[in-house]
A = this chain, B = another copy of it.
Amino acid sequence: MNIVGHLINGQINTDAARTQEVFNPATGLASKQVALASKQTVEEAIAAAEAAYPQWRNTPAIKRARIMFRFKELLEQNADRICELIGEEHGKISHDAAGELQRGIENVEYACGIPELLKGEYSKNVGPNIDSWSEFQPLGVVAGITPFNFPAMVPMWMFPLAIACGNTFVLKPSERDPSSTLFIAQLLHEAGLPEGVLNVVNGDKEAVDVLLTDERIKAVSFVGSTPIAEYIYTTANANGKRCQALGGAKNHAIVMPDADMDNAVNQLLGAAFGSSGERCMALSVAVAVGDAAADALVAKMRDAMQTLKVGAYSDSSNDFGPVITRQHQQKVVGYIDSAEADGASVVVDGRAPQVSGYEEGFFVGATLIDGVTPAMQSYQEEIFGPVLQVVRVESMDEAMQLINDHEYGNGTCIFTRDGEAARYFSDHIQVGMVGINIPLPVPVAYHSFGGWKRSLFGDLHAYGPDGVRFYTKRKTITQRWPSAGVREGAEFSMPTMK
């Protein structure tokens, strides 16, 4: 059986004392194994990164950028292969994988602008003949720990920018779908990256804990669930590292009475069920203001959902694929059961989807639940499946209160035509990423990604301008030259030591 290994100092390493099966979630079968790095292997990766650091740090930013330019080309040329690898191990349909890859590439494009992004601030004459400026210097060796749901995109939120800033990197991707990530890392080497600047280790908690405690690691970026994010953040901080740890979400859309309902329904379909809802920005709760809006929304959603098609990644006519594991499939179904048991109404039921030829796949069909209330467990927790729940409220303020009271604050959206409603909403909602008639308001690569409340631990958001700030530290220099030596009078005599 094929073993997915590590990439250390530019070489594939198969430290395979311990391995774990990698499944195709559409078939339910495992055809590969992933090596789980030992402490020693992770330390080798860190050592490689540390050794590569001094030269990489001193490489002019424009030269670092040019490797990113070439990397972008290679990613585009190899897009089909990457999407195939994502599909095999994650299960997402090829068009969805292509979208993920594109979002990843956008971060590479942003990193190509690093000479502009690294500009410091220069002040002449902060005092008489005293100048001062700030530089943004790289941190050293930094680590990234990434989740299964975006094996291509989320790593590319991190390492392109970190590396462009002059850092070297150790990446620990998800052990559920490691192959596309590894392949992408190899492409960056093909683009000219010196050995040791990017290293990939596959593994589990053993590997993670090395990254969190080894003093040579200066910073950790993490994306995953909130409990793990909190552990990562606290542990990394206690070990003297800077950290940004992105966690879970429960993203609500408010549907106002004046919304363009056809547009809203059309948008919600993709936002709720795309990638089986396994996105931290998935729109999982629709809050309808007034029963008229709610009734219209539910009726139109029910109709629209008839056309959705769930199946294997290889058939691009499918809308979405399986969830990641058997256990997760059962967990999602359990949330639907609990909502029903709590009195909600399952309007469209995806608990037993028929996917011909893939009977053992980890599928859940698109599910619509009406009459959900804040007291239900299915409302309080992140389901991470293709389930849209509808909550009915009497007013926009009530809708906003729901959102502000939820522990998560990643993304949210309002559907309205009214400028005032949109402005009030975006100003006062306690959520980091806000959409106006856009249910999946993922910031573009030149803005930054980050939730509020328990959706993100750390001061700075991921990628974009905040990413540059996260991957650099400020150094402020203040300079005054002693009174004119060479310039005045002394210029024809030898300078003497006073």
Q: How far is the CA of A405 from the CA of B458 in the complex (A)?
A: 28
Q: How far is the CA of A123 from the CA of B438 in the complex (A)?
A: 16
Find chain B residues with CB under 8 A from A234 CB: 234, 237-238
Do B432 and A473 touch across chains, with their CB atoms under 8 A apart? yes
A357 within 8 A of B: no
A110 within 8 A of B: yes
Which listed residue (B424, B426, B460, B491) contacts A487, Cβ 8 A? B424
Which listed residue (B59, B448, B495) contacts A258, Cβ 8 A? B495
Q: How far is the CA of A494 from the CA of B484 in the complex (A)?
A: 18
Beyond A117-B116, A123-B120, A446-B119, is A436–B479 a contact (Cβ under 8 Å)?
yes
Do A491 and B290 touch across chains, with their CB atoms under 8 A apart? yes
Do B492 and A292 touch across chains, with their CB atoms under 8 A apart? yes
A483 within 8 A of B: yes
Nearest-neighbour CB distance to chain B for A433, whole angstroms, equals: 5
Q: Which one of A238, A442, A482 has the highest number of Cβ atoms from chain B below 10 Å of its Cβ?
A: A482
A113 within 8 A of B: yes
Chain A residues within 8 Å of chain B by Cβ, number: 122
Q: How far is the CA of A132 from the CA of B447 in the complex (A)?
A: 8
Nearest-neighbor residue (CB-CB) of A61 within chain B: B125
A268 within 8 A of B: no
Which segment, of A65-73, A171-179, A188-196, A345-353, faces chain B? Answer: A65-73
Q: Identify 16 residue pairs between A and B in the complex whose beta-carbon atoms are under 8 Å apart, listed by A's number.
A: A61-B123, A61-B125, A69-B112, A120-B123, A121-B122, A121-B447, A122-B122, A256-B486, A256-B491, A292-B492, A397-B487, A419-B422, A422-B479, A441-B476, A443-B476, A494-B494
Find chain B residues with CB under 8 A from A90 CB: none
Which segment, of A153-161, A200-208, A360-368, A463-471, faces chain B? Answer: A463-471
Nearest-neighbor residue (CB-CB) of A128 within chain B: B60
Query: Which residues of A, 445-460, contact B by the 8 Å Cβ criterion?
Result: 445-450, 452, 454, 457-460
Do A416 and B486 touch across chains, with their CB atoms under 8 A apart? yes
Which segment, of A259-267, A305-313, A369-377, faces chain B? Answer: A259-267
Extra A-B contacts (15), CB below 8 Å, given A110-B113, A416-B486: A65-B109, A113-B116, A121-B447, A124-B427, A129-B423, A132-B447, A395-B491, A417-B485, A418-B487, A419-B436, A419-B479, A433-B476, A436-B479, A438-B480, A452-B473
Do B260 and A435 touch across chains, with their CB atoms under 8 A apart? no
Nearest-neighbor residue (CB-CB) of A60 within chain B: B125
